[in-house]
Chains A and B, each alone.
Chain A
């Protein structure tokens, strides 16, 4: 049975001390400008190109590192190389490919605290979340390696004499992986290693804001034994490198995690057949969510408040699984909202490197401005229950809760990707389910209830990809909670689940008539 990589037990003082000193070490390395992310093509790093400086969102001033952006020419060079190398990688035995994945996981494990510390500075991810991100990345390696071995071996179909049917898989070819900044190691890794273990060559284009951690990952991929002609690392501007990837006639598959808007654009681009394109592009996209938690009249409010706050404000709400809607049933509304507002006011908002920060900054200035504008608009259209305080410096957005939000309000419908909750109430559980399902998204959801009948109903009728009962709605674990949803939350099967790898391969069937001159070997 698959066992997840354990999180660091921060209740142990030594673990806290050791992690703290790793953070100091990484901070010192940052101060001496040690981090530069470079495109890697054919195993060679590119040192010239447009330079992007990534700043620590916790203070908006410390330069964490430089990123050399790849150009269209670089993309073209990478593609040429990968087109040559892809067949050999596909032909590499499955066992070898799986072994390399295990090696990638091992290498990440060996430097897990350093990788987590880098994410703390690069994307403002607090201690626990940064550690969990690395653990999830390791999990993807180990899980997909095992799944590949268990499910991708060739099969014989039917047992009739005179006819031999074999069913086997081939890689699609080249997979373009376009990764987000919010799970900058885990998701970049998950999509990449899934594509690799299934025999595809991969171009990894990380988000601009998280290219430094992605670069560390890319180096590990090559060190672990992936041939340099099967993997290219291309940090760059979305509108240049990303666009180039989605429009390339030579890329057979796109794997994308990000916003609905960009995702739908990518799907549209992928549907267009470019001159010279031989294959219909396969697209796997994991998009957004507007995830709701229902609090039933008989819910344990201690648990509900704790669960809602963490689901909504953990990592400043920048998770596609984050809770952004709360539906309180009947009498639970008044005490829930009151306690939610009070509890939110005591949360500690601070820089990501402080162990006591419950939440840190948002990813960049643009996000901050956008979310603040949304909050300002919300203050006119809905009732503010709570708005927190934030440090003066850094990209901080105050944790915010609105109540009595109308379902027609943009606050209720549109993904904000920040620490903002829209609350409403329902007369009964029926209405709560209707309200919860009334969204263009269907990614995660939660219910706090102590009514066995309502819990059963929710299991059947709360239509989301990942439903959580009597706990928060974030923190999906590889294998135990395969992650992904439907409707506008994406197309394609759940990451970290038993069906994910099948998306990266094309099955082939070969049928041989083994009867000659009336004789067949098997009879």
Chain B
């Protein structure tokens, strides 16, 4: 299960192939415009946003985060004033929304002014949310999901709401998954668009696919409560898997923070290694390349797949909790379980991609990234090992990744969009993270604007940073 070493000349020609594919994708994105007027508008806004001073940016995100809890226009207006009041001169630069807010901040706060501002802000945040969140419920998401399939993209549905303080809330969350499987299982197979995008691709044996965040299913989940956490989660995940079987749906289990992951992996293995679910088709689990232990986790999963006797799927991602994990490690004076440098995660992603591809008979590789280098490397390495488009897939987040998704899908690869569902309150944490990502300096939104030198450097082979060795 160790990656098959390649000779230097093979490596060099592989690098050339990766560069060619990557370049084509960049070109493809450059010529595409976002499919809807909305997306174009928001893409431009986020570009502006990314250039704001940090203090302003942070306040914008905090305002977005608190917005759904505010029940009255007065409360909205007050919070807008508190968060953005000091930055009012910079607001008109933020398009229509900025102008409304700037107008609202001028003059005395009256109830009419408050109402207009509140309405404007709420609508804006709601629009932004709908870029990244397909709907409040499975029923409401059917149209956007169908539209994805029509565009040649597959999906996996995630239910937002990562935290349950009580078992009552945890049970509600389980019910939401059962309901999602019920609704999707009933409606989706009837669509003509649900016909397999790539014949014989294991990821297309059903158009219905869900992703589950385990820790939200048990309110007392934690490492000091390890055994009981696993037992409770095995029970709840089994109930969801049972329903998935009934609905003939595929499923992925998400990885989360490093404190929870040991519980998650143990639960996954117990459920999908059990007699009841050992033939469940391609149960998916996530491996996060930013974790120093990711390689050994992956090898452990592959050996589990071997014992299981039926393949699993592994979604390889970089990881989404870098900031909070790093802060926690620093505050606690514990060594960080993650690579400190982004480049190291990128390099690890490529090494783990190779391991996955070399073991594709044991597990379906799913590459979750918006990084064109990472994706091009996965595609080309797979092809260099004789794999075709039906042997692996690419995964991206619903929202602004559309141009990249389409570019790869047009090249014949299966691209699956990770589609979150949920209302504004549970969705805010997710929205803020997406906004952070899309307004950062490394945002792929800027991809369309890179010149050839920048493209070359973006497609360079990543190395583990010396400080991370």
Judged by a CB distance under 8 angstroms, whether B333 is at the interface is: yes
> Which residues of the other chain, B, contact A348 by a CB distance below 8 angstroms?
220, 225
Judged by a CB distance under 8 angstroms, whether B120 is at the interface is: no
> Which residues of the other chain, B, contact A345 by a CB distance below 8 angstroms?
166-167
> Which residues of the other chain, A, contact B334 by a CB distance below 8 angstroms?
6, 9
Judged by a CB distance under 8 angstroms, whether B258 is at the interface is: yes
Q: Which residue of B lies closest to A341 (CB)?
A: B166
Among B2-10, B74-82, B453-461, the stretch in contact with A = B74-82
Q: Is the CB–CB distance between A11 and B223 below 8 Å? A: yes
Q: Is the CB–CB distance between B165 and A305 below 8 Å? A: yes
Complex CA gap A356/B78 in Å reads 43
Judged by a CB distance under 8 angstroms, whether A355 is at the interface is: yes
**Pick from A297, A343, A450: contact of B65, CB under 8 Å:** A450
**Pick from A6, A16, A127, A356: contact of B332, CB under 8 Å:** A6
Q: Is the CB–CB distance between B75 and A298 below 8 Å? A: yes
Judged by a CB distance under 8 angstroms, whether B409 is at the interface is: no
> Which residues of the other chain, B, contact A453 by a CB distance below 8 angstroms?
78, 82
Q: Is the CB–CB distance between A10 and B223 below 8 Å? A: yes
Complex CA gap A452/B81 in Å reads 10
Q: Which residue of B lies closest to A6 (CB)?
A: B333
Q: Is the CB–CB distance between B259 and A302 below 8 Å? A: no
Judged by a CB distance under 8 angstroms, whether A339 is at the interface is: yes
Complex CA gap A300/B65 in Å reads 9
Judged by a CB distance under 8 angstroms, whether A306 is at the interface is: yes
> Which residues of the other chain, B, contact A343 by a CB distance below 8 angstroms?
165-166, 219
Q: A11-B259, A298-B79, A452-B83 are known contacts. Are A356 and B333 too (CB-CB below 8 A)? A: no
Q: A6-B332, A452-B82 are known contacts. Are A356 and B165 too (CB-CB below 8 A)? A: no
Interface positions of B from 213 to 265, Cβ below 8 Å from A? 219-220, 223-228, 258-259, 262
Complex CA gap A13/B337 in Å reads 14
Judged by a CB distance under 8 angstroms, whether B66 is at the interface is: yes
Q: Which residue of B lies closest to A305 (CB)?
A: B165
Q: A6-B333, A11-B223, A453-B82 are known contacts. Are A302 and B163 too (CB-CB below 8 A)? A: yes
**Pick from A342, A355, A452: contact of B169, CB under 8 Å:** A342
Complex CA gap A404/B333 in Å reads 42
Judged by a CB distance under 8 angstroms, whether B465 is at the interface is: no
**Pick from B66, B219, B228, B262: contact of A450, CB under 8 Å:** B66
> Which residues of the other chain, B, contact A302 by a CB distance below 8 angstroms?
163, 165
Judged by a CB distance under 8 angstroms, whether A393 is at the interface is: no
> Which residues of the other chain, A, contact B163 by a CB distance below 8 angstroms?
302
Interface positions of A from 269 to 315, Cβ below 8 Å from B? 297-300, 302, 305-306
Q: Specify which of A4, A306, A342, A358 lies most central, judged by the most chain B CB atoms within 10 Å of its CB.
A: A342
> Which residues of the other chain, A, contact B228 by a CB distance below 8 angstroms?
356
Judged by a CB distance under 8 angstroms, whether A319 is at the interface is: no
Q: A298-B70, A358-B220 are known contacts. Are A339 and B226 too (CB-CB below 8 A)? A: no
Chain A min CB distance to B414 (Å): 36
Judged by a CB distance under 8 angstroms, whether A48 is at the interface is: no
Q: Which residue of A lies closest to B71 (CB)?
A: A331
Interface string of A1-33 (1 = CB under 8 A from B): 001101101110100100000000000000000
> Which residues of the other chain, B, contact A339 by a CB distance below 8 angstroms?
165-166, 169
> Which residues of the other chain, B, contact A452 by a CB distance below 8 angstroms?
82-83
Judged by a CB distance under 8 angstroms, whether B106 is at the interface is: no
Interface positions of A from 332 to 360, Cβ below 8 Å from B? 339, 342-343, 345-348, 355-356, 358
Judged by a CB distance under 8 angstroms, whether A494 is at the interface is: no
Complex CA gap A339/B425 in Å reads 15
Q: A331-B71, A343-B219 are known contacts. Are A16 and B165 too (CB-CB below 8 A)? A: no
Chain A min CB distance to B400 (Å): 26
> Which residues of the other chain, B, contact A342 by a CB distance below 8 angstroms?
165-169
Complex CA gap A16/B71 in Å reads 45
Complex CA gap A347/B222 in Å reads 12
Interface string of A98-138 (1 = CB under 8 A from B): 00000000000000000000000000000110000000000
Judged by a CB distance under 8 angstroms, whether B69 is at the interface is: yes
Judged by a CB distance under 8 angstroms, whether A514 is at the interface is: no
Judged by a CB distance under 8 angstroms, whether A451 is at the interface is: yes
A interface list, Cβ under 8 A from B = 3-4, 6-7, 9-11, 13, 16, 127-128, 297-300, 302, 305-306, 331, 339, 342-343, 345-348, 355-356, 358, 450-453
User: Would you give 16 A-B contacts (Cβ < 8 Å), ordered by A?
Assistant: A9-B334, A11-B223, A16-B226, A128-B224, A297-B69, A302-B163, A339-B169, A343-B165, A345-B167, A346-B166, A346-B220, A356-B220, A450-B69, A451-B79, A451-B82, A452-B83
Task: Give the 10 A-B CB pairs with smallest separation, nearest first.
Answer: A342-B166, A356-B225, A343-B165, A6-B333, A450-B66, A11-B259, A355-B224, A11-B223, A343-B166, A452-B82
